[in-house]
Amino acid sequence: MPQMGESVMEGTVIEWVKSVGDTVEVDETLLEIATDKVDTEVPSPESGTLVEILVEADETVEVGQTIAIIDTEGGEPESSSEGDSGKETDTETETESSDDSDSEDAEASEEKTEKQTEESTEAPAATNGTSSSENGDTGEGEGEGEGEGEGEGEGEGEGEEKEGEGERIEVVMPQMGESVMEGEVIEWIKSVGDTVEVDEPLLEIATDKVDTEVPSPEAGTLTEILVEAGDTVEVGQPIAIISTGKPASGGGNGKDTSGSSSQKKETSSSSKESKEAEATETASAESTTSTADAEGNGSEPQRIGSDGRFFSPLVRSIAKEENISQEELESIEGSGKEGRVSKSDVMNYLEDRKEGKVQPKKSSAKSSGGLKKPTSQPKEKQSSDSSKISAGELNVSRPQENVERIKMDRMRKMIAEHMVRSKQTSAHVTTFSEVDVSNIVKWRNKNKAKFQEQTGIKLTFTPIFIEAFIKAIGEFPLINSSVDGDEIILKKDINFGLAVALGEGGQGGLIVPVIKQAQDKNLPGIAKAVNDLAYKARNKELSPDDLVGGTITLTNYGSVGNLMGTPIINQPQVAILGTGVIEKRPVVRETVDGDVIAIRHQMFLSMSYDHRIIDGAHGGAFTSRVKELLEDFDPDRAI
């Protein structure tokens, strides 16, 4: 049983992928193991035949405990029998080589192999204080036979480790934004021993801004995982090792399997005795489990639910342990991609069930007297039964009691911490301007159909506003900067962040993707970038690169009908712009014939800025310049 993290001392066998008698290759998956942090696969340390399974499914195994025996082809079986008679050696060789043409060829091959082995292990044997036998076919004593076996095993293990792994590449925690210094590992998509391609996702990472996948920097084999699910990782910290050569055997495991024959025989015999002693208990436990299910615990959790969602071995293991039926499991709202249920989702559900906020669903399996595939309930019923709140969810149902506590999910806690940290870092000041955007409204109404025909993109007001902001920033470069101690960092590129609310009414939280080098784009280019990022954000397809490097941010609270707001600065930036709803209002207009009252399209523009480096006059001058650019928009301009 391999070590899967400093705090992980044991794991539960979920299922064996291989059976006794199966041929396995190096790093091919043998079984699935579940720990309290992650589900993972255990790879084979050597090529050969799986001759014995020492622990069964659902058994708990301590780290370092022997779980299986692999018989390597033409390797240790011959070495371990060198202390026996020549007759026994010949018999074993004939048995193992029964698939070859005849026994004479097998014996000749064995003699050749043993002579090569004797020559290659002569030096290690001498070092260990054991002289090599001149009669290498049978050996002159048990001690010498064991000495040769150990030397041979170690030589092979070290050779495979050096030749098999190839170049070892360190995968480090990537930079996901200037203000992002760490992230939390949600889950590993790949397991040790898996083959990965360049840019294939390795794991999911959560930061205070986004949940995202970390891609593989190289093609090869994932040979080591250095951090476990739930661990917090700093930017630049190594998180995994990838070998670019052929699949690595792993030095430690190779040495473990190359021990002396006497140790293997003892392990084999003791495991057989323990398996026979536990046979009755296992049968009894299985009988009890099946009886409990039949008495009304519901359908046993399945790999694929009737609603098409995949349930991981860890989730199924927890569900089985906590008597959560398949029907209950499918009623849990998943926070993962495509509604996938995670460990945290199940634990939250168990807390709610314990507090009486949800009622366990009764299974139809009780009446039928056995397991049957559950049918999914209507979506309306699922949503009404769920009291779990998503990050930023607004439509919380009325509490049943006078006071009801709802635990924040991880994303909401991160957003909260980021907002408070920003207020503690920057001296916030907000300034407002009322802007007449009648010319922009008129131009958009006249050209939106033509714009979509030419570009394939719907024309919104946001790209037009961003175009004006970029022009103003060119005249006020301090707005596009950040603060580092007692230094101001001016930035040439204008990387425009867009605050995007996820889900209807912002149920899914808030995320800020970035338009890189926005100053180099024309209006159609900005419109395309805005459309692409908004689509990717709402469909959870953003990459880490989409979220880093922002220098200024725009938030549109007008999208939910608000007039104005005082947005919080997105650190480490020094300013954030906000646009309110566009409304028709009566305003006084100056004309050559005197003042008149006219109906105009009006909008409030706000900007929160960092008063540590931006004074009121400078911030006010910037918003006035933006107001001027928007009001002087040419209604006759070409697309």
Answer whether residue 463 is part of any domain: yes
144 pLDDT more than 60: no
Question: What CATH number is attached to the domain comprising 174?
Answer: 2.40.50.100
Answer whether residue 66 is part of any domain: no
* 512: Cα separation from own chain's centroid: 20
Question: What CATH number is attached to the domain comprising 528?
Answer: 3.30.559.10
435: helix, coil or strand? strand
Answer whether residue 274 is part of any domain: no
539 pLDDT more than 90: no
Q: Are residues 483 and 609 in the same domain?
A: yes
Mean pLDDT of 594-622: 96
Q: 309: pLDDT confidence band, cut at 50, 70 and 90?
A: confident
Q: Are residues 543 and 605 in the same domain?
A: yes
With b meaning 16 or more CB within 10 Å and e meaning fewer, what string describes 568-590?
bbbbbbbbbbbbbbbeeeeeeee
Answer whether residue 20 is part of any domain: no
Q: 625: pLDDT confidence band, cut at 50, 70 and 90?
A: very high
The 3 state secondary structure assigned to 62-73 is ECCCCCEEEECC
153 pLDDT more than 80: no
Q: Are residues 230 and 324 in the same domain?
A: no
Q: Are residues 77 and 187 in the same domain?
A: no
Answer whether residue 214 is part of any domain: yes
553: helix, coil or strand? strand
Residue spans of beta strands (DSSP E) within 110-216: 168-172, 182-188, 195-196, 201-206, 211-215
Q: Are residues 577 and 501 in the same domain?
A: yes
Question: Domain ends where: 228, 259, 290?
Answer: 259
pLDDT in tens, 37-85: 567 788 888 888 998 999 998 888 888 899 999 988 654 444 444 444 4
Q: Where are the alpha helices (DSSP H) in 166-229?
A: none
266: helix, coil or strand? helix
Q: Are residues 445 and 556 in the same domain?
A: yes
364 pLDDT more than 70: no
Mean pLDDT of 182-206: 88
Sheet order of strands, 48-53 included: 23-24, 48-53, 68-71
Q: 490: pLDDT confidence band, cut at 50, 70 and 90?
A: very high
Q: Are residues 158 and 171 in the same domain?
A: no
Q: Tell me the catalytic residues.
A: 611, 615
Q: Are residues 183 and 130 in the same domain?
A: no
Query: Which residues make Cβ contacts (< 8 Å) with residue 583, sequence separation at least 6?
Result: 563, 601, 602, 603
| Helices 461-475 & 523-538 angle (0-180, nearest 10) | 120
Answer whether residue 266 is part of any domain: no
Q: Are residues 345 and 205 in the same domain?
A: no
Q: Which burial class, exposed, middle or buried, applies to 215 when counting CB atoms under 10 A from its CB (0-12, 13-18, 19+)?
A: middle
Q: Are residues 161 and 174 in the same domain?
A: no
Q: Give phi and psi for 454, each to the nearest 5.
A: -80, -35
Answer whether residue 250 is part of any domain: no
pLDDT in tens, 100-127: 444 444 444 444 444 444 444 444 443 4
Domain, as residue range, for 142: 72-165+255-259
